[in-house]
Amino acid sequence: MSDIIRVDGLSKTYGVGQNAVHAVADASFGLEENRIYGLLGRNGAGKTTLMQLLTGQEFATRGSIEVFGESPVENARVLDRVCFIKESQRYPDDFRVKHVLRSAPWFFAGWDADFADDLIRQFRVPVNRRMKKLSRGQLSAVGVIVGLASRAPLTFFDEPYLGLDAVARQLFYDVLLADYAENPRTVVLSTHLIDEVSNLLEHVLVIDEGRIIIDSSADELRGSAVDVVGARTAVDAFTAGREVLHRAGLGGLATATVAGLDETGRAAAAAAGLELAPVSLQQLVIRTTTGETADRTNGENA
Amino acid sequence: MDDSRPIFLQIAEQIENDIISGALPEETQVPSTNELAAYLRINPATAGKGVNLLVDTGILYKKRGIGMFVADGARARLVAQRRDQFREQYVTPLLTEAQKLGITPAQLAAMIGEASR
């Protein structure tokens, strides 16, 4: 499979001097065709800025971006094949839901009107209501419907679930999987609700303070870290010389999150009387992105 | 799905379990990758990886244009494999825990005899 996005040394800085904010800092990565990616990170980590850069809505301060082999900026050949569902999409004041559906085919060559109508019914969106009058959840539902029915070869969903209830979120995930299976395309899903989507993702990018700190297949990440639980002395002895992502303790008990433990390591832990507990993707992301602003001298723990 | 192991391994194991239990008899068709993905709510590529693992080991085979089928003799091979793993996965931890509690192997054997009666 070929890279659909190629990013090299990408930086985006707002402001100058001491007040400069490095929203994206020296990011380099590639996204392959027809995969579902998760773009994960805390508030203000740089997820939205990165997606704006990839869709030509922001200019890079440094570095290069290639989408379908070309720069996306002001480039219809690229942008015709891209759909970006933003968290806070604005619509013309007098637009109703049906106007959004009617205008979508102007922007998306692959628009499937029947599929959109079907989704409108499933998400129970009132087509004659003005966009301004929709609830937060209904507004998100319209975004999700446009993103799915556009069938764009490259689709970005930036936290598409705001205000969506649990039923609608599950519906979104189910429809996304089913439609992706029939119409493969590249999907980038930015989200905080990691546990909800972790099984949908094939590959994960974690961004923290503008830096890509994890770029790994979801299956490799799964089981890449384990919690080692036991007597503090035993845990300390076991973790000496190993990469520890996080430590916590209570009295004589300690828990250490250890990265990259292989079968021999697991056996050694069991022999030392330590318990091993799995770490979910969400916990792994939390543990690698917790903490205050710090220089990441050993942040390469992917 | 549990979080400790790659999902594709868990998929492969679930299919193996269904073959061993007889839910998926030999020479029957297994669900397609997309069916598995939709049902288990996982990425289709991950489901495909799990299925391919079983194709590589000859448990499943591909009929071009039709789908995946359980190979002849797959059940017997899986049972033999699982028996080899039984000691490591069940007997060794059982003995370790018994030792911790001061239960001798003879007492353990007696307990197993009673429990299976």
- CB B4 to CB A219 under 8 A? no
CB atoms within 10 A of CB A174: 14
**Whole-angstrom Cα distance, residue B43 to residue B33?**
9
| B89 part of a folded domain | no
Q: What is the mean pLDDT of residues A263-292?
A: 83
Whether this model's pTM surpasses 0.95: no
Q: What is the mean pLDDT of residues A187-195?
A: 91
**Interface membership of B110 toward A (CB under 8 Å):** no
**Whole-angstrom Cα distance, residue A66 to residue A54?**
8
* Structure-token pair, residue A263: 């079968």
Query: Residue A295 pLDDT > 50, yes or no?
Result: no
Phi, psi of A284 (to 5 degrees): -60, -45
In chain A, DSSP assigns E strands to: 3-14, 21-32, 36-40, 62-67, 82-85, 154-158, 186-191, 203-208, 211-217, 225-231, 244-250, 253-259, 275-278
| B115 part of a folded domain | no
CB atoms within 10 A of CB A22: 17
In this complex, the residue of A180, A181, A278 whose CB is nearest that of residue B2 is A278
**Whole-angstrom Cα distance, residue A123 to residue A126?**
9
- Per DSSP bridges, beta strands A211-217 and A203-208 are antiparallel
Tell me the domain boundaries of chain A.
3-218, 224-278
Distance from CA of A301 to the nearest CA of B (A): 18
Q: What is the mean pLDDT of residues A278-285?
A: 86
**Interface membership of B95 toward A (CB under 8 Å):** no
- Residues, chain A: 302
pLDDT at A245: 86
pLDDT at A1: 54
**Interface membership of A287 toward B (CB under 8 Å):** no
- CB A174 to CB B41 under 8 A? yes
**At CB < 8 A and 24+ separation, what contacts does B33-37 make?**
B33/A181, B34/A178, B34/A181, B34/A182, B36/B11, B37/A177, B37/A181
State which fold the A3-218 domain adopts.
Rossmann fold (3.40.50)
- Non-local CB neighbours of A99 within 8 Å, separated by 6+ positions: A92
Residue B64's domain spans which residues?
7-74
Distance from CA of B117 to the nearest CA of A (A): 32
Residue of B nearest to A184 (CA): B44
CATH of the domain at B41: 1.10.10.10
Structural domains in chain B (count):
1
Residue of A nearest to B93 (CA): A270
User: What residues in B contact A279, CB-CB < 8 Å?
Assistant: 3
pLDDT in tens, A232-257: 989 999 988 888 888 888 888 999 98
pLDDT at A300: 39
**Whole-angstrom Cα distance, residue A158 to residue A84?**
8
Instruction: Tell me which residue has tokens 């990265």.
Output: A259
**Interface membership of A36 toward B (CB under 8 Å):** yes
**Interface membership of B94 toward A (CB under 8 Å):** no
pLDDT at A297: 39
pLDDT in tens, A7-62: 999 999 998 888 888 999 999 999 999 999 999 998 888 999 999 999 999 999 99
Q: What is the mean pLDDT of residues A182-206?
A: 92
ipTM of this model?
Answer: 0.74
| B110 part of a folded domain | no
**Whole-angstrom Cα distance, residue A228 to residue A224?**
13
- Non-local CB neighbours of B36 within 8 Å, separated by 6+ positions: B11, B42, B47, B50, B51
- CB B6 to CB A219 under 8 A? yes
The alpha carbon of B63 is separated from its chain's Cα centroid by a whole number of angstroms, namely 23
Residue of B nearest to A198 (CA): B42
pLDDT in tens, B8-65: 999 999 999 999 999 999 999 999 999 999 999 999 999 999 999 999 999 999 999 8
- Non-local CB neighbours of B48 within 8 Å, separated by 6+ positions: B33
Alpha carbon separation from A266 to A226, A234, A257, A282, B33 (Å, rounded):
9, 14, 13, 22, 32
**Whole-angstrom Cα distance, residue B68 to residue B43?**
18
Query: Residue A282 pLDDT > 90, yes or no?
Result: no
Query: Residue A266 pLDDT > 50, yes or no?
Result: yes
**Whole-angstrom Cα distance, residue A286 to residue A54?**
25
| B62 part of a folded domain | yes
Partnered with residue A85 across adjacent β-strands are: A157
pLDDT in tens, A91-145: 888 899 999 999 999 999 999 999 999 999 999 999 999 999 999 999 999 999 9
State which fold the A224-278 domain adopts.
Alpha-Beta Plaits (3.30.70)
Phi, psi of A142 (to 5 degrees): -60, -45
DSSP A275-291: EEEE--HHHHHHHHH-S
